[in-house]
Structure 1
Amino acid sequence: MFMSTRSGVISTLVELVRKTLNHDPLVFVNSGLVVVGLITSLRSAANVLYTYAENICLSTVHVRAEDPLYEDVVRWMNDHAFRGRNFLSVLAQTNNNSDKPLRCPVQLDPDRLISYRESEDNSFLELKPFRGSRLFRFRQTWMLFSHAANGPGCFGPPQLDTNPPLKLQCLSISLSPIKKFLDEVRAYGRKVSVSNVTIYRTTSFSPDVVRWSSVASRLSRDISTVILDKQKKQTILRDINEYLHPHTRQWYANHGIPYRRGYLFSGPPGTGKTSLASAIAGVFGLDIYVLSLLDPSMTESHFSRLFSEVPTRCVVLLEDVDAAGLNRGDTEPGEDFIQRSTKTNTSVSLSGLLNAIDGVSSQEGRILIMTTNAPQQLDRALIRPGRVDVHIKFELPSREELQDLFLSMYSEVHQNPQFSPDEQKTEAARLTEQAVRFAECLPEKQFSIADIQGFLLQHKRRPEDACSQVESWVEEMDFEE
């Protein structure tokens, strides 16, 4: 009954269409089926031809999403191959990193609150290619850029797929054209990021997949902004400079010494340990790879593999190693150091950490910086020479360092371009006097750099107010303690 009713409805609709169009609708249906079949056949034939060409005359290079080269390729494609072209499938992305300054009064009016909803919007909308394949030309050679899955950068969040997400191909029996393209891509990436430091952290895509991911790119920090004893600062800069010299690696090889260098930054919180590591990366043009022993997704095998995957020249920052629980135990002298670490807050054992640092698979050429608030708790095996070559002790600031911090915070006061050279000298001398007065109002080695910097941030561009109110701030801090 139901089938006959449905057949009747279909017959009625077919008759209605025939009367309306004066044509048999079955002709259109059959024609559509022929077109679909033809398209399917052509696509199948194209796939067969493509597979055959890929095996015979197409050079192919895959780039994994976790490789730094991936970001360089994406950047080059966005700036060269994709710019000015129209695509039907794109990713809309809001870019808030505009260098265009806001329209605002030259002088800050403390009685007038700034509303960014009323100000000019500096962000802009970017439409970037999203998925599929793109054919482009590089130095008279046609190349095919394809990506089937989302990866980091402009193509969306990384997926769990561990297959190479980016593929480059060209019609050639040699990889030379693609090699030249990748050399161009790397050179362009270095040119764009010459004044930046890229920070990499571990990202867990699944319990079994943990990769390095680029999380930020920041302007290089000037080493002069790091408040530390000048002799200690010069010691580490000279040591790293000698280590990175091209002839040093051969010297290590000639003497049978693994080409590695390790540093331990110890001291109270807020004294600038991480800041110095960041500034060092900027000075020597290195990227930073941050590892944490407290990462709940980090297993010992993950840690060892990630440590071995860092580039030959980079800064590996291992933060707060004392907080992971790999501490010196209360055991009898001579007991195996692995047994001393019985209570840990990490899945990475002390033996696993030591093997990652200087094991057979450990990368050479890198700079390892470990930070700790309690160096006395670290196992001697972790900080022995060869693993820690230079120990920099950070202390609460002295009077001289307090003056340096004040001058660094207000350095632009006497550099006003509206001042004449004589006026700038006068302002510089005046600022130096204020720095001395400011430092004399603070007790030595009592407050951290972070504490004092927090106070100075309350008086940006007003060194006179900082000098006049610092004593009352010290009293408040003493009362809170």
Structure 2
Amino acid sequence: MLEALSQAVAAQLDNQVFTGGLALGAFGVAGAAALRLLPSLLRFIVEAWFITTLTVDSRSPLFESLVAWFAAHPYTARCRRLTAARVPQGEAEALRLSPGQGSHFLYEGGMLLWVERSVGVGNAGMSSSGRQPVETITLRALSRNRAMLTNLLRTADRQFGGRDPDCIAVHMVESYGEWSGRTTIRRRPLSSVFLADGVGEALLEDARTFLAGEAWYSARGIPWRRGYLLYGPPGTGKTSLIRALASELDLDLSIVNLASDRLDDQQLCALLGTAPARSVLLFEDIDAVFRDRDAETAGRGITFSGLLNAIDGVMSQEGHLLVMTTNHLDRLDPALIRPGRIDRRQEIGLATGEQIARMFQAFYPDRGGLAGAFVAAVGGRALAPAVLQGHFLQHRSDPDEAVRTAARLTARPR
């Protein structure tokens, strides 16, 4: 049978009509495939040689500046496909309209600009269910000179990316393990945090010395990093102090939730290596995550050794202040808070007489003379500032009632 089949094939190949048709068919298939690929090939050649592309996504601090520039462009007045957002405007908020998702063509600087706005998902090794939307703006210009797009981005950042003098930026870690776009919170003066005399000022001076000492660290081959541990009972103002220090130093806040089971050791190292510049890296309530080395088997996404490696790692950016807080200093493993990781420890304790008097005077400036009576009514007890603040807010229009009910206060938040 095989021999017969072989003879039949040989006979067909000797047939010029059959072989000619076979060749023509093969040529047709190849030609059709080439025609299908031609548009993609031409687009690749044009984009590679004649078009400059710049992409910014919503995880970048530049994204909001670019959106604001886009919203202010004359094209937006005639655009029919828009996106609405609320943005801060003084003490209130305003409605901002900007061109929405899809492609937009506009003129800028005498050149046609193709702007594409789209939404995708972040990619940090998480499953698709763990990812969050990431918005992207892609700018394309028909030019081999990239100066136009880089100048446009610098203009947007200069006009719309300036730091709000009344706010500081806060960066959080998204559930897929990447830094989010920044939000803002009001600055807080150090004088609004009622600490023992000199505590806040000493920490502020220490941080300023560190930030000004890059050359000093470099000359001695020491990593330019500084770690602080704030410890004390709940409600004593540890987080408020960190916010005030960031405000006074004009730094951002970058907050990492180490208890998240969506983060692993590798992602934590990457986060510390890509942390926003000029920011305070904050690990709150570190005792709730790692009490000791047994936490290695606690089933969390980040291991104790992984945390130590991330803090010490060569990938960690320099020039940051690392701040940890804890309610229970005795629960922390000594390896976590040794010198080199934590350079300065500061207890933030309960408020005593002088602090309590200052808080009373701040809440009731017209009745400051009652501060002594309030301290006496407290009976010499030390109280958490959070407890005092709640009490003063409850009686903010009646300082006499605040004094009369002072004896009922408990030392710490319930």
Matched position secondary structure for 2:330: helix
Give the letter aligned to residue 261 of structure 1. R
Give the letter aligned to residue 371 of structure 1. T
Distance 1:99-1:238 versus aligned 2 partners, 3 A rule = closer
Corresponding residue of 1:317: 282
Corresponding residue of 1:284: 249
Give the whole-Å Cα distance in 2 for the aligned partners of 1:370 and 1:165.
33
Give the whole-Å Cα distance in 2 for the aligned partners of 1:61 and 1:84.
20
For residue 179 of structure 1, report the CA deviation from its aligned partner. 1.8
For residue 385 of structure 1, report the CA deviation from its aligned partner. 1.1
2:76–2:98 contact (8 Å) kept in structure 1:
no
Residue 323 of structure 2 corresponds to residue 363 of structure 1: no
Distance 1:345-1:464 versus aligned 2 partners, 3 A rule = farther
Q: Percent identity between the aligned chains?
A: 29
- Please list the CA deviations of residues 354-390 of structure 1 after superposition, one character each: whole Å capped at 9, or x if unmatched: 1111211111111111000111111111111111111
2:167–2:185 contact (8 Å) kept in structure 1:
yes
2:357–2:374 contact (8 Å) kept in structure 1:
yes
Residue 19 of structure 2 corresponds to residue 65 of structure 1: no
Aligned residues: 371
In the TM superposition, what are the counterparts of 1:323-402 in structure 2 within 5 Å?
Answer: 323-324=288-289, 326-328=290-292, 341-344=295-298, 346-402=300-356
Give the whole-Å Cα distance in 2 for the aligned partners of 1:143 and 1:281.
39
2:265–2:310 contact (8 Å) kept in structure 1:
no
- Please list the CA deviations of residues 246-296 of structure 1 after superposition, one character each: whole Å capped at 9, or x if unmatched: xx1111111000010111010101111111111111112211111111112
Give the whole-Å Cα distance in 2 for the aligned partners of 1:461 and 1:395.
28
1:322–1:372 contact (8 Å) kept in structure 2:
yes
TM-score for the superposition, normalised by structure 1 = 0.69
1:268–1:395 contact (8 Å) kept in structure 2:
yes
Give the letter aligned to residue 393 of structure 2. L
Give the letter aligned to residue 349 of structure 1. T
Give the whole-Å Cα distance in 2 for the aligned partners of 1:385 and 1:227.
28
Distance 1:461-1:49 versus aligned 2 partners, 3 A rule = farther
1:311–1:363 contact (8 Å) kept in structure 2:
no
Corresponding residue of 2:369: 433
- Please list the CA deviations of residues 15-60 of structure 1 after superposition, one character each: whole Å capped at 9, or x if unmatched: xxxxxxxxxxxxxxxxxxxxxxxxxxxxx99987665432212221
Matched position secondary structure for 2:262: coil
Give the letter aligned to residue 271 of structure 2. L
2:194–2:359 contact (8 Å) kept in structure 1:
yes
For residue 148 of structure 1, report the CA deviation from its aligned partner. 2.7
Give the whole-Å Cα distance in 1 for the aligned partners of 2:364 and 2:114.
53
1:396–1:444 contact (8 Å) kept in structure 2:
no
Corresponding residue of 2:69: 76
Q: 1:145 aligns with which of 115, 118, 127?
A: 115
In the TM superposition, what are the counterparts of 1:248-287 in structure 2 within 5 Å?
Answer: 248-287=213-252
Give the letter aligned to residue 56 of structure 1. W
Corresponding residue of 2:49: 56
1:62–1:164 contact (8 Å) kept in structure 2:
no
- Please list the CA deviations of residues 193-223 of structure 1 after superposition, one character each: whole Å capped at 9, or x if unmatched: 232112121122xxxx322113631111121
Distance 1:214-1:409 versus aligned 2 partners, 3 A rule = farther
Give the letter aligned to residue 336 of structure 2. L
Residue 136 of structure 2 corresponds to residue 182 of structure 1: no
Corresponding residue of 1:167: 138
Distance 1:67-1:126 versus aligned 2 partners, 3 A rule = closer
Give the whole-Å Cα distance in 1 for the aligned partners of 2:249 and 2:111.
36
Give the whole-Å Cα distance in 2 for the aligned partners of 1:443 and 1:137.
72
1:312–1:364 contact (8 Å) kept in structure 2:
no
1:81–1:136 contact (8 Å) kept in structure 2:
no
For residue 163 of structure 1, report the CA deviation from its aligned partner. 8.6
Residue 199 of structure 2 corresponds to residue 232 of structure 1: yes
Q: 1:85 aligns with which of 49, 66, 77?
A: 77
Give the whole-Å Cα distance in 1 for the aligned partners of 2:340 and 2:310.
13
Q: 2:98 aligns with which of 122, 125, 128?
A: 128
For residue 141 of structure 1, report the CA deviation from its aligned partner. 4.7
Corresponding residue of 1:241: 208
Q: RMSD of the TM alignment (CA)?
A: 3.1
Residue 287 of structure 2 corresponds to residue 297 of structure 1: no
Note the residue ranges of structure 2 that are not aligned, 5 or more in a row.
1-36, 123-128
Corresponding residue of 1:22: none
TM-score for the superposition, normalised by structure 2 = 0.80
Give the whole-Å Cα distance in 2 for the aligned partners of 1:194 and 1:303.
31
